[in-house]
Amino acid sequence: MKINDVIYDDDAYIRGVIIKDLGEGYYNVFWFNYVIGIVSEDEENLKVIGHYNGDPKMFDDQEAREAMNRYLLEKRLADKYSFMRRDRSLAEQSKEGFIDDLYSAFGCECDDGWFPLLDELCADITRVYEDAGLPVGIKVDQVKEKFGGLRFYVTATGPQELVKEVYRLINEAEGKSEKICEHCGNPGIIRNDLAWIRCLCDECYEKKMKENLQ
Ligand SMILES: [Zn+2]
């Protein structure tokens, strides 16, 4: 792929044009028809890796990089831990009439700063099952931010003591999240005076404050 290449959808409609090579197989694309995003090129197909519904516009470099980083954070987690893979997309679930798998539909509904914490938690959970000689019995129901802290809702199966240990680890990680900046991962504290309660470091908090004033 190269700059000005046109992206077609399955029905051969023109969907967008490549505007920037971001390196390592990723491209920023100007999308037509209310979809904006960046794509990656793997062996088989193009994947939209960041998009939203709204007026057509371009991602600027900064936004494109942020979307790409986010995509890679989620991909690494899913590659490493099979229980972090998402199966039924929001579109598929919507077609069936109701959304009953929130994690598959929305992924991790928190900012990038907590991904190292999520990685650590997933490794701890995996180890508990491995130590017991059992396959990981975790179904992730929802991952999100609430009242400034992480919520990691899962259904864990296995022997009672093991399941108890899994929930203890989750509790511990949720507690830790209240001291980690949700945006950048640096040490943070819960901020109650923003539009939304969030755990942020001083720098990210000041930035958010300025945005709120605009
Ligand atoms: Zn921060």
- Residue-wise pLDDT tens digits, 74-116: 889 999 999 999 888 777 888 888 888 999 988 899 999 999 9
Using the mean position of ligand 1's atoms as its centre, give its distance from the Cα of residue 194 in Å: 14
3-state secondary structure the chain: CCCCCEEECCCCCEEEEEEEEEECCEEEEEECCCECEEEEECCCCEEECCCCECCCCCCCHHHHHHHHHHHHHHHHHHHHCHHHCCCCCHHHHHHHCCCCCHHHHHCEECCHHHHHHHHHHHHHHHHHHHHCCCCCCEEEEEEEEECCEEEEEEEECCCHHHHHHHHHHHHHHHHHHCCECCCCCCECEEECCCCCCEEECHHHHHHHHHHHHC
Q: Please state, as a whole number, how many other Cβ atoms lie within 10 Å of the Cβ of residue 145.
A: 19
Contacts of 109 (CB under 8 A, 6+ apart): 142, 143, 144, 145
Residue 59 structure tokens = 């991602």
- Residue-wise pLDDT tens digits, 28-49: 776 654 344 455 554 334 444 4
Using the mean position of ligand 1's atoms as its centre, give its distance from the Cα of residue 166 in Å: 28
In this predicted structure, the answer to whether residue 59 has a pLDDT above a threshold of 80 is no
Using the mean position of ligand 1's atoms as its centre, give its distance from the Cα of residue 176 in Å: 15
Using the mean position of ligand 1's atoms as its centre, give its distance from the Cα of residue 2 in Å: 35
Using the mean position of ligand 1's atoms as its centre, give its distance from the Cα of residue 207 in Å: 9
Using the mean position of ligand 1's atoms as its centre, give its distance from the Cα of residue 146 in Å: 17
Cα gap 196→143, rounded to integer Å: 17
CA angle 136, 137, 142 (to 5 degrees): 110
Higher pLDDT, 146 or 95: 146
> What ranges do the domains of the chain cover?
6-80, 90-213
Q: What is the mean pLDDT of the chain?
A: 82
pLDDT of residue 168: 98
